[in-house]
């Protein structure tokens, strides 16, 4: 697939890949940065290498099932925003290096993804999940206009020794007959 690049007021979103190994490791192997994540923190560099290789392989497909973007702020890689598709529904996710928390970058990047995939790919249904204790993440979801549609137990964050609860949020756009929002 042709690489997609999205620009916002402060960010450039570019296809994630192995060129970002060092900067991905900066947050992917940091407990505090990744404590609410199901698949993080990574235990070693090899996990990050494999993840980035999988992301590059997906970008190489004619019709990828997911898109992972590096968030670049002043050309510095500060996090990742992604969208995974299942049955036409796009699941959003993000992680920002803790040095850049509380600056609105996750919202700005996720909002740009929603806009791009709605306007260019016709995606009308978006979901997101987060640990119920991850206030910053569900505040991003609410700022995106998403509505909380569920709370479930049985979430196991990789760094946790026991299950926790998670919220599910949804955003659905109604399209008119001309396929416009």
CATH code of residue 138:
3.40.630.30
Please indicate, yes or no, if residue 179 is contained in any of the structural domains. no
Please indicate, yes or no, if residue 181 is contained in any of the structural domains. no
Q: Which residues pair with 155 in a beta bridge?
A: 164
**Cβ–Cβ under 8 Å, residues 125 and 172:** yes
Look at residues 55, 106, 52 and name the one whose alpha carbon lies nearest to residue 79: 106
Token pair belonging to 177 = 């007959």
The 10 Å Cβ neighbour count of residue 122 is: 11
**Cβ–Cβ under 8 Å, residues 105 and 78:** yes
Please indicate, yes or no, if residue 148 is contained in any of the structural domains. yes
Please indicate, yes or no, if residue 87 is contained in any of the structural domains. yes
> Could you tell me whether strands 89-96 and 125-131 are parallel, antiparallel, or unpaired per DSSP bridges?
parallel
- Report the number of distinct structural domains present in the chain: 1
What pTM did the predictor assign? 0.91
d(CA 52, CA 50): 5
Please indicate, yes or no, if residue 180 is contained in any of the structural domains. no
Look at residues 161, 134, 140, 160 and name the one whose alpha carbon lies nearest to residue 40: 160
Read off the DSSP letter of residue 2: P
What is the pLDDT tens value at each position of the chain, 181 positions in all?
Answer: 567 999 999 999 999 999 999 999 998 888 888 777 777 777 788 989 999 999 999 999 999 999 999 999 999 999 999 999 999 999 999 999 999 999 999 999 999 999 999 999 999 999 999 999 899 999 999 999 999 999 988 777 677 778 888 999 999 998 765 555 5
Read off the DSSP letter of residue 100: G
Look at residues 70, 77, 74, 99 and name the one whose alpha carbon lies nearest to residue 23: 77
Range of the domain at 114: 6-172
pLDDT at 151: 92
């Amino acid at each position: 697939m042709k690489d997609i690049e999205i620009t916002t007021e402060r960010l450039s979103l570019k296809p994630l890949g192995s060129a970002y190994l060092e900067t991905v490791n900066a947050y992917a192997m940091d407990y505090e940065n990744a404590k609410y994540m199901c698949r993080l923190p990574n235990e070693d560099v090899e996990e990050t290498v494999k993840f980035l290789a999988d992301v590059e392989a997906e970008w190489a497909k004619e019709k990828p099932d997911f898109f992972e973007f590096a968030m670049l702020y002043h050309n510095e890689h500060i996090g990742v925003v992604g969208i995974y598709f299942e049955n036409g529904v796009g699941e959003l996710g993000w992680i920002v290096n803790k040095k850049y928390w509380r600056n609105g970058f996750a919202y700005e990047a996720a909002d740009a993804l929603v806009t791009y995939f709605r306007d260019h790919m016709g995606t009308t249904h978006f979901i997101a999940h987060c640990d119920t204790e991850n206030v910053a993440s569900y505040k991003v979801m609410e700022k995106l206009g998403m509505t909380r549609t569920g709370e479930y137990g049985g979430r196991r964050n990789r760094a946790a020794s026991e299950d926790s609860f998670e919220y599910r949020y949804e955003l659905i756009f109604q399209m008119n007959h001309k396929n416009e929002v």
